[in-house]
């Protein structure tokens, strides 16, 4: 655990924990003193001893761009000084070498060591110690099988003890724990079961979201959050870590790019390592929105305590985090929002958009507001990649997973099931609800107040106007129907285009593989809704 920034008590001072050291020395042959102060994984300096030499009762640790939490800390996890010493050193080691998430698991799970009982002979005989400890630890894992933190923390402890060659521990303990299968807790079921409240968005829901975020009451801050989440499936933490300098234009390739920090696995060091980023090409439309956001904040500046200007995050906090400014290695993140702010932004946006869920009702039977969060866009991207024929490795890379094991749940349902579920969204009830967003976008052909280029089917037949100010690389008259910048004419022959798109869509599905099969899905959905909107408007005019 030796670390350049670890501080110990002076050698001439009596250490309160000498009784622990004596026991460790008797069994293990040598020991390392419990530190007085440490530097955490993210660079925070923490004093972990009180003035009387005892450990502090809680450690307040900064988890960059996520939260600041006080974790309970103790010198009494069991009835045995040897086990207490090992537990303390394991927590300190993880605080230095890994993210605070590991410390969180340990401070919860290591309390289970209080239930271990060792015979006197076990503390004299290493073989007997291994037998008793291994059996009891396995029993504890089974007893608390519904508490994942206990299993994770005990396994972390076992690995730490084996790696550091402590007396009484070897690979047999890991083999023993491997025999126990604990069901993973998390959100994988939301994806594999296509949960309507927390799982992937449907095609019609995504289409509706993309249209509504263009409304004037949606801020550029919110619009950029949604577009990045939809395009790359980013976690809240990744969105919080993006800086203005991560968005750049390549003058040779004539394309926009974004650097995205990795936040999972052993390679994850957030922004501390320049090799810890994934480079992604930015669609022009998203790049333009990001530049508008950057331009809107250009007059704002904040500074470190030493007077140096703080790096400029893309999504800025309204206030500076003074606690981060106290630490030299953390100060650069003081202007960043944290992941909880990202979560709240998506939640608030869902309430603001007021999209009615087609599958979830309130207690009174009325349609519930569509639940919005960052991970639903992530689940949607993963699910669609499976539909497009992507491999396990491709999905894992796209979603920033360290192994393919973390994305297998996306492959639980095959393409036929997902296509069937998507096709049910074309039912009359759903369609009547989804066309509502086109009501404010359908325009009269003679309306000159709408500034945009005319989309022509032929020299004499037009479909609507395009509000894009830049060159569009999509297929005109087809892809327009899946674009939020399209303003269709009220009396244009959209029904004819729907027939054409339907035929082309079926042809692609029957004669193509991979992503090509789904190229026209959004255009088909949009055309279907516009035709229905025309029918509703015509019916109301006749009434």
Q: pLDDT tens digit string along 52-99?
A: 999 999 988 888 777 788 889 999 999 999 999 999 999 998 887 777
- State the Cα–Cα distance between residues 113 and 442, nearest whole angstrom: 67
Q: What is the dihedral sign for C-alpha 131, 133, 137, 140?
A: positive
**409 domain-assigned:** no
Same structural domain, 383 and 502 = no
pLDDT (tens digit per residue) in 7-27 = 999 988 999 999 999 999 999
Same structural domain, 236 and 361 = yes
Give 68's strand partners. Answer: 62
Give 69's strand partners. Answer: 61
Same structural domain, 273 and 392 = yes
| Coil vs helix vs strand at 111 | helix
Query: Span 151-176, mean pLDDT?
Result: 86
If you search the block for the tokens 């530049």, which residue do you land on?
A: 291
pLDDT at position 424: 46
Cβ atoms of 85 and 110 closer than 8 Å? no
Cβ atoms of 205 and 370 closer than 8 Å? yes
> For the chain, how many structural domains are there in total?
3
Same structural domain, 283 and 373 = yes
Which residues lie closer than 8 Å to 96 by C-beta, 6 or more apart? 1, 3, 6, 38, 39, 40, 41
Same structural domain, 134 and 260 = no
Same structural domain, 204 and 256 = yes
**CA distances, 111 to each of 77, 144, 245, 272, 286 (Å):** 6, 12, 44, 33, 48
- State the Cα–Cα distance between residues 392 and 383, nearest whole angstrom: 12
Mean pLDDT of the chain: 82
Same structural domain, 286 and 141 = no
pTM of the complete model: 0.69
Q: In Å, how far from its chain's centre is CA 219? A: 22
Same structural domain, 390 and 454 = no
Same structural domain, 240 and 384 = yes
**213 domain-assigned:** yes
- State the Cα–Cα distance between residues 193 and 115, nearest whole angstrom: 38
- State the Cα–Cα distance between residues 306 and 314, nearest whole angstrom: 23
pLDDT at position 542: 67
Same structural domain, 139 and 205 = no
pLDDT at position 187: 58
**411 domain-assigned:** no
Least confident of 42-51, 191-200, 252-261, 495-504: 191-200
Q: What is the dihedral sign for C-alpha 147, 153, 156, 158?
A: negative
Q: Which residue has the higher pLDDT, 159 or 474?
A: 159
Token reading at 520? 């026209």
pLDDT at residue 463 greater than cutoff 70: yes
pLDDT at position 127: 93
The DSSP-derived string for 292-343 is HHHHHTTT---B-TTSPBPP-BSSB-SS--HHHHTSTTTGGGTTB--HHHHH
pLDDT at position 255: 93
pLDDT at position 472: 65
Query: Span 218-236, mean pLDDT?
Result: 94
pLDDT at residue 172 greater than cutoff 90: no
Choosing from 361, 381, 398, the residue where a domain stops is 398
Domain that holds residue 443: 427-542
**338 domain-assigned:** yes
pLDDT (tens digit per residue) in 380-410 = 888 888 777 778 888 888 887 777 777 777 7
Choosing from 160, 178, 196, the residue where a domain stops is 178
**496 domain-assigned:** yes
Report residue 360: phi and psi, to 5°: -115, 130
Cβ atoms of 88 and 113 closer than 8 Å? no
Same structural domain, 471 and 523 = yes
Same structural domain, 126 and 214 = no
Choosing from 178, 211, 236, the residue where a domain stops is 178
**327 domain-assigned:** yes
């Amino acid at each position: 655990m030796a670390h350049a920034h670890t501080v110990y008590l002076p050698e001439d001072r009596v250490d309160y924990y000498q009784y622990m050291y004596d026991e460790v020395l008797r069994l293990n042959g040598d020991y390392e003193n419990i530190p007085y102060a440490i530097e955490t994984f993210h660079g925070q300096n923490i004093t972990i001893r009180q003035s009387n030499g005892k450990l502090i009762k809680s450690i307040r640790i900064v988890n960059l761009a996520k939260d600041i939490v006080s974790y309970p800390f103790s010198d009494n996890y069991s009835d045995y000084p040897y086990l207490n010493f090992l537990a303390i050193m394991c927590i300190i080691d993880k605080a230095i070498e890994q993210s605070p998430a590991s410390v969180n698991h340990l401070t919860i799970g290591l309390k289970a060591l209080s239930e271990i009982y060792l015979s006197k002979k076990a503390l004299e005989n290493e073989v007997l110690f291994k037998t008793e400890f291994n059996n009891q630890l396995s029993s504890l894992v089974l007893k608390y099988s519904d508490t994942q933190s206990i299993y994770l923390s005990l396994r972390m402890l076992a690995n730490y003890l084996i790696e550091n060659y402590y007396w009484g521990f070897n690979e047999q303990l890991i083999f023993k724990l491997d025999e126990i299968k604990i069901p993973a807790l998390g959100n994988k079921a939301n994806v594999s079961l296509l949960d309507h409240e927390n799982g992937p968005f449907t095609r019609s829901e995504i289409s509706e979201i993309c249209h509504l975020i263009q409304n004037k009451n949606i801020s550029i801050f919110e619009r950029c959050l949604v577009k990045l989440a939809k395009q790359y499936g980013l976690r809240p933490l990744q969105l919080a870590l993006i800086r203005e300098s991560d968005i750049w234009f390549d003058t040779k390739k004539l394309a926009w790019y974004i650097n995205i920090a990795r936040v999972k696995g052993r390679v994850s060091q957030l922004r501390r390592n320049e090799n810890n980023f994934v480079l992604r090409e930015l669609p022009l439309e998203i790049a333009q929105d990001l530049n508008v956001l950057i331009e809107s904040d250009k007059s704002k500046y904040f500074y470190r305590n030493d007077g140096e200007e703080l790096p400029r995050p893309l999504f800025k906090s309204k206030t500076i985090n003074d606690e981060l400014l106290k630490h030299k290695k953390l100060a650069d993140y003081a202007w960043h929002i944290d992941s909880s702010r990202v979560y709240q932004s998506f939640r608030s946006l869902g309430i603001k958009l007021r999209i009615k869920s087609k599958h979830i009702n309130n207690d009174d039977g009325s349609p519930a507001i569509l639940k919005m969060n960052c991970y639903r866009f992530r689940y949607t991207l993963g699910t669609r990649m499976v539909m497009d024929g992507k491999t396990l490795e491709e999905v894992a890379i796209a979603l920033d997973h360290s192994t393919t094991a973390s994305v297998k749940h996306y492959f639980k349902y095959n393409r036929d099931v997902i296509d069937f579920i998507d096709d049910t969204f074309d039912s009359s009830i759903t369609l009547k609800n989804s066309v509502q967003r086109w009501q404010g976008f359908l325009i009269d052909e003679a309306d000159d107040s709408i500034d945009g280029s005319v989309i022509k089917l032929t020299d004499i037949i037009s479909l609507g106007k395009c509000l894009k100010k830049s060159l569009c690389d999509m297929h005109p008259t087809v892809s327009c129907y899946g674009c939020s910048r399209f303003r269709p004419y009220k009396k244009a022959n959209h029904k004819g285009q729907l027939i054409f798109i339907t035929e082309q869509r079926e042809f692609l599905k029957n004669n193509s593989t991979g992503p090509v099969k789904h190229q026209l899905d959004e255009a088909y959905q949009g055309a279907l809704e516009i035709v229905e909107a025309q029918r509703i408007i015509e019916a109301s005019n006749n009434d």
